[in-house]
């Protein structure tokens, strides 16, 4: 039987078949974080492979890399190749006696200035001029540039937009592409929610996206929108709620300026509706509060209670508060809503939640819905990062 596989190099780059054959299998942000953690750890063991992160604008590629550096307390040298000339990376020549010597740019990692370990991050690499990326070939593969040597213990990561994202992008040359391990990031709501609770994002924004998960990322490159929903712009919406929440006339335009006209209207209506939430203070105190009838309000109270659990985890009353929230989770008419609430708590608090007697009571009540693994299933450091 004859094969019908079409070689990619015989196809125009804008063809549908070419895109299908050359596109990577997208992976969620928590997976990317775990990969980068291992790659960073391997830098000192000489098994490190430079990593290239692909993805549309606003999904948090840069923030995932930055979070790895912050967790390890090391320097992140962020080199924006799109803003550089070849000499900015290679350095400039100068005469020394009878020889020409190349100066080393101060922005490149140096053991004395930046430390023994760190991350060299080549951001916006697909937007760099071809002459600049050509200068980066040796830096990425051989960890050197002329006389300059990347210190051992330093990992090399890069990021850029895909070719169809309507950004300023150049096709990555094959010699450069062959120097990376490539990953394409997909937007994942659970990972974003875990990050949002840890980052103190307004629980109303979290609740809204639980209610409308399709709006976490809505980008149509063909329309080339100015403002659109993305993990980055939902953080902007969180900031808008903090700044303009007490000024109703300004709040709607501010939200639309962050996430676009349609999503801004929906979020504003959702936020206005949150006034009907039950008394959260009574719930965390163990009072018998009703579960609201509206599904949107149920998402709202669930997100708000996860936030309360996060705020209480370092207090002497943490176990009592979390136990009361677990008891309330059994009250939802749709048990799936309670499962979502407890799952988000577990992602934020980790194994201590399993030790509460109220958790066992709750788990017994939903055993026919989900088999809960009593191991510590909290993501490893960094696996919950999304923006």
pLDDT, mean of residues 187-204:
93
How far, in Å, CA of 260 to CA of 151, rounded?
A: 44
Residue 156 has pLDDT above 90, yes or no: yes
pLDDT band at 375 (very low <50, low <70, confident <90, very high): very low
Query: Residue 257: how many CB atoms within 10 A of its CB?
Result: 16
Residue 387 has pLDDT above 60, yes or no: no
State the maximum Cα–Cα separation within the chain, in Å, rounded to a whole number: 86
Per-residue pLDDT, 84:
77
pLDDT, one tens digit per residue, over 318-353 is 999 999 999 999 999 988 999 999 999 998 888 889
pLDDT, mean of residues 175-196:
91
pLDDT, one tens digit per residue, over 94-104 is 677 777 776 77
Please provide the average confidence, as pLDDT, over all residues in the chain: 83
pLDDT, mean of residues 110-123:
93
pLDDT band at 287 (very low <50, low <70, confident <90, very high): confident
Residue 5 has pLDDT above 70, yes or no: no
pLDDT, mean of residues 143-151:
84
pLDDT, mean of residues 75-83:
88
pLDDT, one tens digit per residue, over 245-265 is 999 899 999 999 999 999 999
Please give the sequence-ordered ranges of beta strands (E in DSSP) within the chain, or none if there are none. 51-54, 75-80, 93-96, 99-102, 118-123, 144-145, 148-149, 154-160, 181-184
pLDDT, mean of residues 71-90:
84
Q: What is the dihedral of CA 37, 38, 41, 46, to 10 degrees?
A: -140
Per-residue pLDDT, 385:
38
Per-residue pLDDT, 264:
95
Residue 16 has pLDDT above 50, yes or no: no
Name the percent of the chain in helix, strand, coil, to the closest 5: 50, 10, 40
Domain with CATH 3.40.50.300 in the chain: 8-184
> Which H helix or E strand runs over 338?
helix 335-349
Per-residue pLDDT, 4:
34
Per-residue pLDDT, 219:
82
Can you give the three-state secondary structure of 65-134, one letter per residue?
HHHHHHHHCCEEEEEEHHHCCHHHHHCCEEEECCEEEECCCCCCCCHHHHCCCEEEEEECHHHCCHHHHH
pLDDT band at 42 (very low <50, low <70, confident <90, very high): very high
Q: Quote the percentage of the chain above a pLDDT of 70.
A: 84
27: its two tokens: 């992976």
How far, in Å, CA of 265 to CA of 14, rounded?
A: 35
pLDDT band at 173 (very low <50, low <70, confident <90, very high): confident
Per-residue pLDDT, 93:
66
Residue 374 has pLDDT above 50, yes or no: no
Per-residue pLDDT, 304:
93
- Topology of domain 8-184, CATH: Rossmann fold (3.40.50)
Do residues 152 and 112 touch, judged by C-beta distance below 8 A?
Answer: no
pTM, two decimals, is 0.78
Per-residue pLDDT, 91:
65
pLDDT, mean of residues 224-242:
92
């Amino acid at each position: 039987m004859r094969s019908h596989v079409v070689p990619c190099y015989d196809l125009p780059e804008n063809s549908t078949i070419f895109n299908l054959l050359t596109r990577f299998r997208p992976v969620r942000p928590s997976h990317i974080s775990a990969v980068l953690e291992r790659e960073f750890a391997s830098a000192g063991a000489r098994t490190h492979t430079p990593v290239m992160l692909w993805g549309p604008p606003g999904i948090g590629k840069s923030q995932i890399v930055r979070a790895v550096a912050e967790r390890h307390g090391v320097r992140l040298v962020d080199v924006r190749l799109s803003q550089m000339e070849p000499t900015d990376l290679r350095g400039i020549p100068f005469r020394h006696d009878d020889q020409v010597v190349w100066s080393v740019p101060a922005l490149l990692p140096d053991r004395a200035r930046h430390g023994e370990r760190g991350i060299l991050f080549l951001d916006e690499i697909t937007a760099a001029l071809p002459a600049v990326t050509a200068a980066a070939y040796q830096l990425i593969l051989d960890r050197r540039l002329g006389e300059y040597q990347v210190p051992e213990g330093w990992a090399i990561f890069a990021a850029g937009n895909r070719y169809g994202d309507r950004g300023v992008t150049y096709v990555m040359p094959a010699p450069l592409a062959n120097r990376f391990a490539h990953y394409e990031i997909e937007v994942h709501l659970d990972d974003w929610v875990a990050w949002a609770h840890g980052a103190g994002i307004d629980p109303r924004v979290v609740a809204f996206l639980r209610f409308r998960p399709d709006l976490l990322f809505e980008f149509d490159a063909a329309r080339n929108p100015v403002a659109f929903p993305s993990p980055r712009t939902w953080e902007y919406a969180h900031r808008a709620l903090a700044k303009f929440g007490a000024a109703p006339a300004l709040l709607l335009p501010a939200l639309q300026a962050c996430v676009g006209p349609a999503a801004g209207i929906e979020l504003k209506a959702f936020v206005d509706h949150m006034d009907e939430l039950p008394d959260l203070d009574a719930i965390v105190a163990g009072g018998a509060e009703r579960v609201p009838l509206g599904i949107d309000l149920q998402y709202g109270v669930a997100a708000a209670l996860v936030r309360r659990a996060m705020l209480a985890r370092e207090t002497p009353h943490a176990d009592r508060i979390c136990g009361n929230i677990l008891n309330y989770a059994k009250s939802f008419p749709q048990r799936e809503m309670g499962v979502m609430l407890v799952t988000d708590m577990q992602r934020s608090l980790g194994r201590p939640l399993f030790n509460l007697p109220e958790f066992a009571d709750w788990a017994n009540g939903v055993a026919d819905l989900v088999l809960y693994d009593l191991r510590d299933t909290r993501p490893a450091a960094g696996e919950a990062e999304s923006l």
